[in-house]
């Protein structure tokens, strides 16, 4: 049985890098990839290919332009569809506001600043897969912390 990872990333190069990295480093991984449309998220959760982990970019476009917190809206939607799925959030932001917002989402396990460290990301994915990721860990920010 495959381990399905939902990747929600609007930048093609980052999305492709994540897909390749996951497929090459995570045993039996199946990557379900989206560019950030919230409606597409619902489709995966109502199918036989339901994801077991989500990796979501924090800053995603919205119907009216760029949304600096669009990823949190996707995380909220994922939580409505499945409150048990762990989430890794990727961001270019390096501020305490993103950390505070992430700490208010119980499904977020990691907040990782881009560019991400490949070995570290593999470790985080495996921890989520094995149920070892609890609370929130923030990586790559001046205020690195764990909740």
Q: Find the domain containing 103 and state its range.
A: 3-139
Residue 144 reports pLDDT greater than 50: no
Q: Cβ distance 22 to 7 under 8 Å?
A: yes
Return the structure tokens found at 58.
Answer: 């924090």
Q: What is the pTM of this model?
A: 0.88
CB atoms within 10 A of CB 94: 13
Q: What CATH number has the domain bearing residue 21? A: 3.40.50.2300
Is 101 contained in some domain? yes
Return the structure tokens found at 141.
Answer: 């920010």
Is 47 contained in some domain? yes
Residue 75 reports pLDDT greater than 70: yes
Query: What 3-state class would DSSP assign to 29?
Result: strand
Q: What is the pLDDT of residues 59-71, one digit of tens each?
A: 876 655 556 667 8
125: left (phi over 0), alpha (psi -120 to 50) or beta: alpha
Parallel, antiparallel or unpaired: strands 53-57 and 3-8: parallel
Q: What is the pLDDT of residues 99-133, one digit of tens each?
A: 888 888 888 898 888 888 899 999 999 999 999 98
Q: Give the span between the Cα atoms of 8 and 93, in whole angstroms.
A: 17
Residue 147 reports pLDDT greater than 50: no
Is 147 contained in some domain? no
């Amino acid at each position: 049985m495959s381990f399905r990872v939902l990747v929600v990333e609007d930048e093609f190069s980052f999305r492709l890098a994540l897909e390749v990295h996951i497929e090459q480093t995570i045993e039996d991984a199946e990557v379900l990839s989206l560019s950030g449309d919230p409606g597409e998220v619902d489709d995966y959760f109502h199918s036989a290919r339901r994801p077991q982990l989500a990796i979501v970019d924090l800053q995603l476009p919205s119907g009216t332009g760029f949304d600096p917190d669009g990823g949190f809206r996707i995380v909220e939607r994922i939580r409505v569809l499945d409150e048990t799925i762990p989430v890794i959030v990727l961001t270019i932001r390096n501020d305490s506001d993103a950390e505070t917002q992430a700490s208010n989402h119980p499904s977020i396990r990691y907040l990782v600043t881009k560019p991400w460290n490949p070995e570290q990301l593999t470790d985080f994915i495996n921890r989520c897969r094995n149920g070892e990721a609890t609370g929130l860990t923030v990586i790559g920010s001046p205020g690195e912390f764990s909740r």
